[in-house]
Amino acid sequence: MNNIVILISGSGSNMAAIARAAQKEAWQDKFGARVAAVFSNQADAPGLALAQRLGIANATLSHRDFASREAFDAALMARIDAHAPQLVVLAGFMRILSPAFVRHYAGRLINIHPSLLPAFTGLNTHQRALDAGCGVAGATVHQVTAELDHGAILAQAVVPVLPGDSADTLAARVLTQEHLIFPRAVREFFEGQGWGRDQCA
């Protein structure tokens, strides 16, 4: 079985988009792929209840229970590896991962970032795009490396920045595209077609 493990910290909407695409597109029949588990570092993450409703095993592992980032990551790796994942997906997981974690899942660890990388790495991407006067914004699926938001780009989607946009309205427009490109990038991994840049306006 080609197991997918998804890490979240919040609403889990991208996790749900992937899980629903897997069900709708019969990934298990086509690729032997399924979302096996969802983990969150936040016990109150709404995405945990969403995973439960979708019938996906889920659990919390709080980083606050560990003395160091490395100790938390080691414990998280043990939880993840219990599911023998082919792919580990960061879907709104708000933790910077240790180099050991990234090395352990090299080539099978992906993230989605709410900007058109390499622009606006890090946080507050939508407000920064507005402050810079950008005419477009978007989202990027990328491989995870030790350098934050700098891994190889796997997919991108572009949305217009509209007059009167706030960070919230722009974020909502970008999120609709995240829900399209993230499942597609995961599916392409299992289709064996390889990953490349895929930009759509």
Q: What are phi and psi for residue 32, nearest 5 degrees?
A: 65, 25
**Cα atoms in the Cβ-side hemisphere of radius 13 Å centred on 180:** 15
From the list 104, 113, 142, 179, the catalytic residue is 113
Omega within 30 of 0 (cis) for the link into 99: no
**Does the annotation count 83 as an active-site position?**
no
Q: What distance in Å separates the CA atoms of residue 36 and residue 186, rounded to the nearest whole number?
A: 14
Q: What are phi and psi for residue 25, nearest 5 degrees?
A: -95, 5
Residue with tokens 């990328």: 142
Q: What distance in Å separates the CA atoms of residue 125 and residue 131, rounded to the nearest whole number?
A: 10
In a 10 Å sphere around its CB, with 0-12 CB exposed, 13-18 middle and 19+ buried, how is residue 43 labelled?
exposed
- Neighbouring CB atoms inside 10 A of 38's CB total 27
Q: Which of 54, 48, 65 is nearest to 17 (CA)?
A: 54
Give the residue numbers marked as catalytic. 113
